[in-house]
Structure 1
């Protein structure tokens, strides 16, 4: 597919021999130098799709980058995704002159400034920290001829649109740009028009659909019974890696402490954890030192840990698309996986929104769905819109019998 021989040897040693659909469709166009708009769910091999041809093109430069510059810029919405991309890029480029560097918040900006002073081939960054470094004049983007926006829809969701517009103005017009997204909201179309020139559009799974190898199920329960129910599920699969997603930082931390008290090997990552704490928790989880990782949606994308066998949605997400990203942490690298959602009565609306977004019902594997209140149809209404057969609409207010003069006075 036009990939450099040294990079091919590296990916073969990693066991990557057959390209995924997104790689098959995107790599030839990227090798040709075309801009690409890629629509694909997490876990489809996007990092290799843009990383392998990018490294192939960078190797041809044949000289080191200038101080405080980068030749390729990869933007990611979260620290975890940026870290995952950096690890993959380093593995693909091993034994080549290409050097990459990751800059994210929560780490020493002085250390990052010092490293960037020598220049870097590939810079992987979160938008906020990149702007901090630009304002300090620690990095210039004038030599960046290759730009990747990964999980661009999430960058919009968490409010990076204005930052992305600023960054776009600092890049040279003559560049190759790749934009990858799981969904295509209206604002994404505007972003694509701003960044891309005559792009090749590549789409694999329709947006909103989960991987076919994920065995999904929903268990109806009360909010107060969720913790005991989770412990019951976890006890059935000892020694297998599981991710548990909560809605809030406080709730996730509280749940992790409870599971630890009950004897489970557990760690937690969320926005209140420092970068060092998050990285140590992920490292222990990858090694299997902890079998359970409790997380908020900061871990819903970008974490590629093939051994994750189970995903539990302890709290259903407010954004339906996040459900697909969460359960995409399992069934990776050709493996099977299982995803269980715990649904309390107050979350039935979120469940229906998720099923509508996926265009598929999630099988019920436990509990009973609470009855949804329904408004009577027009055919069930009597004269004046009044419900028949004991409908639940409020009776019409009776007209006042007071004389007109009293009404006017009132």
Structure 2
């Protein structure tokens, strides 16, 4: 089905329960997104649906709303408590997100509609009492749900009416193919199924044959990324060692502002970059497959609340093969979570910038990384650092974007590397301290710290929830020698083109502040700029000021 020019159908005209409409209003969802407008009425009619829509388009609401509404309608006539819907996602983080969305949408009918997330990595027996209450909606990964069914904690053979599979194109690549085949044996013969995906791959087509019955296919004619007036994409071609110097300059000179996610391709690089930035006084927290799920969800939650500006995330989607065995052997003693996924589906709030410090291995991974910004109607910027070895990957992405509607393309981020020679020298000095041993020590220290916070102190935090709110994940690891002078930016290494523009003062006691206390005319003009800084200027050789684009 393709989009058309009809007037948008509001939630109030979809025949939804008043309690659900009130919750939608409290969530400040004004009008339904295109995928919600198409999918919700069809789901309410009981049709099977295969929907493809880009990341950040509101797919979660498209399946949560009809599932909750059907349960509310069912309970008007039947009092028996049974499991009516199952929501399956490939990762624990996505399960947590789906659970939170269901909880928010049922806030006005929480006594009538119950939901339970079985994804957290706790013992099956500890979750048995909640499942014995037969919640209306069960959220989990395929492997976790199957484990509960085999254990006898859950029986949905006679009661299940709706199955939802979110991020369907990732289910098999996360090692859940055999789990899905086994699960279907425990499901009733007749049920309604909804498959949601950002791409329609061969894996999705296989899953479609396994789960759906004569489905309606919703394939919105849109680019997989927002249009250029909402998302600006830049690329910087530089040597690998210059990536560190450039990132340091952008952050210390406050040229990158707002909440940012820095993507790398491995756990080791996560800690290498964290230790590097730590020496320059830039606090960051890391996300990777080795951290406990409670810590990962807590980090995302606090980032969304505005506690952190920078997250360094390892996108390990290419580190797992189809049967879920870890391919990254950079740390043999570590235990990776095959159900980890941070570049896919997770709703990071108000992300201004996505920085690909290491270029993604696949086009799909690039799309989903960049999709963490410019979500909904908000604007965002993506900046990718590319060295010689990554040029082929860049070409693949550019070719794919050129074939999509919306005019997406990567613009060159122009600058003169000679202007940040001072940062290059300091970065080289800092990198000498970031040894392999320091990285491994930081990796082990972080894991131990997060394990302590998420497990041993679990009961304490349950009794003292306010203390959990102030638990921070961006503390310095301090496994490298601290050089205090690196944390400050003296005038002599600031590019000349920035001196007059930012009104930098030469006094040593203010050298670490990129902005002067008194605003010059140029500063006031800068404050009036509403767009992201990366969109507002470029380095140009021989010019004293930035040229506004």
Deviation at 1:280, TM superposition (A): 2.4
Residue in structure 2 matched with residue 263 of structure 1 by the alignment: 281
| Cα distance in 1, alignment partners of residues 90 and 213 from structure 2 | 23
Alignment of 1:120-139 (within 5 A): 120-139=135-154
Query: Does residue 211 of structure 1 match 2:226?
Result: yes
Given candidates 321, 346, 354, the residue that maps to 1:303 is 346
Q: 1:363 to 1:122 in 2, by over 3 A?
A: same
Q: Which of 133, 149, 154 is the equivalent residue of 1:118?
A: 133
Segment of structure 1 superposing worse, 331-340 or 165-174: 165-174
With 50-59 and 159-168 compared, the bigger mean Cα shift is at 159-168
Deviation per residue, 1:60-101 (Å, 9 max, x gap): 2225665xx621101111111111111111101112111111
Q: Which residue of 2 aligns with 1:48?
A: 61
User: For the structure 1 residues 289 and 64, does the alpha-carbon distance in structure 2 shift closer, same or farther, using more than 3 Å as the test?
Assistant: farther
Alignment of 1:201 onto 2:217: yes
Pairwise CA distance, 1:157: 2.1
Q: Which residue of 2 aligns with 1:392?
A: none
- Counterparts in 2 of 1:357 and 1:331: CA distance versus 1, 3 Å: same
Could you report, residue by residue, the CA deviation over 1:104-146 in whole angstroms, capped at 9, with x for unpaired residues? 1533433322321211111111122222222211112312210
Shift of residue 190 of structure 1?
2.0
CA spacing shift, 1:215–1:5, aligned 2, 3 Å: same
Normalized against structure 2, the TM-score is what? 0.64
Partner of 2:83: 70
Quick check: 2:345–2:368 contact (8 Å CA) kept in 1? no
The equivalent position to 2:97 in structure 1, one of 84, 89, 101, is 84
Give the structure 1 partner of residue 242 of structure 2. 225
Q: Is the partner of 2:234 in helix, strand or coil?
A: strand
TM-score (norm 1): 0.84
Instruction: Report the Cα distance in structure 2 between the residues aligned to 1:352 and 1:111, rounded to whole angstroms.
Output: 50
Q: Which residue of 2 aligns with 1:145?
A: 161
| Aligned with residue 107 of structure 2, among 94, 114, 126 | 94
Match of 2:387 among 344, 361, 367: 344
Task: Mark the CA change 1:253 to 1:129 in structure 2 (over 3 Å): closer, same or farther.
Answer: farther
Aligned CA-pair RMSD: 1.9
Partner in structure 2 of residue 365 of structure 1: 413
Secondary structure in structure 1 of the residue aligned to 2:31: coil
Structure 1 residues 347 and 284, CA gap change in structure 2 (3 angstroms): same
Work out whether 1:284 is the aligned partner of 2:302: yes
CA distance in 2, matches of 1:46, 1:198: 21
Contact 1:65 1:121 in 2 (8 A): no
Task: State whether residues 243 and 292 of structure 1, in contact with CA within 8 Å, keep that contact through their aligned partners in structure 2.
Answer: yes
| Residues 265 and 174 of structure 1: CA distance in aligned 2, closer, same or farther (over 3 Å) | same
Which SS does the other structure have where 2:185 is aligned?
A: helix
Q: Counterpart of 1:172?
A: 188
Q: For residues 134 and 259 of structure 1, do their structure 2 counterparts lie closer, same or farther at Cα, with a shift above 3 Å needed?
A: farther
The runs of at least 4 aligned residues of structure 1 exceeding 4 Å deviation read: 63-66
- 1: CA distance, partners of 2:222 / 2:189: 31
Distance 1:111 1:262 in 2: 44
1:335 to 371, 378, 387: 378
Q: 1:181 to 1:65 in 2, by over 3 A?
A: farther
Q: Is the 8 A contact 1:309 1:338 kept in 2?
A: yes
2:245 match: secondary structure: helix
**Residue segments in structure 1 that go unaligned for 5+ positions in a row:** 369-410
Length, aligned pairs only: 365
Rounded to whole Å, the distance in 2 between the matches of 1:110 and 1:351 is 48
Where do 1:176-195 residues align within 5 Å? 176-195=192-211
Whether the aligned pair in 2 keeps the contact of 1:321 and 1:357 (CA below 8 Å) is: no
Q: Tell me the distance in 1 between the aligned counterparts of 2:382 and 2:232.
A: 6
Match of 2:542 in 1: none
- Judge conservation of contact 1:244–1:314 (CA < 8 Å) in 2: yes
Higher strand share: 1
Do 2:93 and 2:293's aligned partners in 1 also have CA atoms closer than 8 Å?
Answer: no
Compared CA separation, residues 254 and 133, structure 1 to 2 (3 A): farther
- Compute the displacement of 1:223 (Å): 1.5
Q: CA separation of 1:87/1:339 partners in 2, compared to 1, >3 Å: closer, same or farther? A: same
Task: Give the 3 Å change call, closer, same or farther, for CA 251–65 of structure 1 in structure 2.
Answer: farther
Deviations 1:203-248 (A, max 9, x none): 22557x3111111111111112222322333342576110111111
Task: Quickly say closer, same or farther: Cα 1:239–1:341, change in 2 above 3 A.
Answer: closer
